[in-house]
Amino acid sequence: MKQVLITGGCGFIGSNFVRHTLEHYKEYRLINLDKLTYAGNPGNLTDIENSPRYRFVKGDICDADLVRKIFAEEKIDAVVHFAAESHVDRSITGPAEFIRTNILGTFTLLEAAREAWLKNGDSTGKEYRFLHVSTDEVYGSLGETGAFQETTPYDPRSPYSASKASSDHLVSAYFHTYGLPTLITNCSNNYGPYQFPEKLIPLVINNALQGKALPVYGDGKNVRDWLYVIDHCEAILTVLHKGKTGETYNIGGNSEKQNIEIVSTICDILDEKVGLLPGEKARRSLVTYVKDRAGHDRRYAIDATKIRTELGWTPQVNFAEGMRKTVEWYLDHQAWIASVTTGAYREYYEKMYGGR
């Protein structure tokens, strides 16, 4: 059985990945290292916490002693590195934590892997893997046409995307300099269950259910390529199993949508599922255009030709199906939303999004 270190496994994508992998890939035992910041919720994994193939470790990826200890105790065969500060708005108001976690944290993990696998490890018959999960935001902004390819020059526009670009370069450098068996994936916007409600889709669902304003930046026509989170998990596993070390693979959902289209779709599904607002008002009436945020990239789109042709992965969930499944999940998990929008996060959440 392979021992796989998952970082940030209590977050949105990480928790979906942990659950999906344990269910479908019996050859893996997962060790989940998570600091449990505001967006890391151990409640995301209560249904599997007693599995013999799962271990949770509360800790910081910047803690070099702890990371080295995990590598030694568990004889780690692979790393899937999700842990990151990821919300652009927060990176604009407080960039320091993004630099620390996304750059220094990645460096700490790379050094631990290098020490365990290349300095002290017995590589005979071993096939180690260090898979770094990144974002399409490192490429900057597109015009009305074209799509990001793996060869697109980096052009980050926010402290968040700059910190992720830096970590990508570190991972690549460790492959070229030391021969560390690294892989990088750059994905488009994810959506699905367990996404923290500061992000667009769960934020809109939550506010629309409560009859609150739905804040939309600028003219609402910023375009993103949307990827259902389980499709992303399968893509990561495909790269882990089949990817060529030293390579980067772009992962996209083939679902370009304007932000206002996303908001309108959610409103329409909720009107259908739970009925109109008092006074027979459609939830689209809650849309409130607000000042655009600084450095807001106009359009992202992913060209996923490489992962499709070389590794055989394609997304299985189209946008209409995925969005309906997502809205239905949040409707069925109102207690989860309440649990993660209390405490230290509530003041920030209400200030940024609740009162508009």
Token pair of 266 as six digits: 């959610």
Active-site pick, 136, 231, 256, 303: 136
Cα-flanking dihedrals φ and ψ of residue 84, to 5°?
-170, 150
CA distance 130 to 108: 13
* Residues 45 and 71: beta-carbon distance below 8 Å: no
Letter string b/e over residues 181-203, b meaning 16 or more CB atoms within 10 A of that residue's CB: bbbbbbbbbbbbbbbbbbbbbbb
Q: Is 168 a catalytic residue?
A: no
* Residues 147 and 84: beta-carbon distance below 8 Å: no
Active-site pick, 54, 128, 139, 160: 160
From the list 12, 6, 7, the residue with the least C-alpha distance to 189 is 12
Q: Are strands 189-191 and 223-228 parallel, antiparallel or unpaired?
A: parallel
Q: Is 160 a catalytic residue?
A: yes
Torsion of CA 163, 8, 231, 265, to 10 degrees: -80
Torsional sign, CA 31, 56, 21, 321:
negative
Q: Is 137 a catalytic residue?
A: yes
Catalytic residues: 136-137, 160
